């Protein structure tokens, strides 16, 4: 996922420029890709663990659906924070 993000940022970022990319812009793109990939990996691990536990909780207590969904939304927010951070790195 980070490789796709890095390639798309490189293509979109350098497509409008006619000159050779500088080292600073390359490091910004690599930093943004690393920030997003770490956040996405952490969110994926958390969602996997919480999702499997949430399914077993819902099998026993179906009334806990809203609490399980809220916890999953909090974990997914980590990936959104990583995406926002990546865009802040690229635009800053």
54-66 pLDDT tens trace: 999 999 999 999 9
CATH assignment at residue 83: 1.20.20.10
CA within 13 Å, CB half, 60:
5
52 within a domain of the structure (yes/no): yes
1 within a domain of the structure (yes/no): no
Annotate 43-80 with DSSP letters as a single string: HHHHHHHHHHHHHHHHHH-GGGHHHHHHHHHHHHHHHH
Q: What total number of domains does the chain contain?
A: 1
12 within a domain of the structure (yes/no): no
15 within a domain of the structure (yes/no): no
pTM of the predicted protein model: 0.71
- The overall average pLDDT reported for the chain is 84
Residues 6+ apart with CB under 8 A from 1: 36, 37, 40
Distance separating the N- and C-terminal Cα atoms of the chain: 23
Note down the domain range covering 45: 24-91
pLDDT of residue 65: 94
48 within a domain of the structure (yes/no): yes
């Amino acid at each position: 996922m980070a490789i796709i993000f890095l390639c798309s940022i490189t293509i979109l970022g350098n497509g409008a420029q006619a000159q050779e990319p500088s080292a600073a812009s390359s490091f910004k793109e690599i930093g943004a890709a690393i920030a997003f990939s770490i956040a996405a990996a952490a969110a994926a691990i958390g969602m996997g663990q919480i999702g499997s536990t949430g399914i077993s909780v819902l099998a026993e207590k179906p009334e806990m659906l809203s609490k399980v969904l809220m916890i999953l939304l909090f974990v997914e927010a980590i990936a959104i924070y990583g995406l926002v951070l990546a865009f802040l790195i690229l635009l800053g």
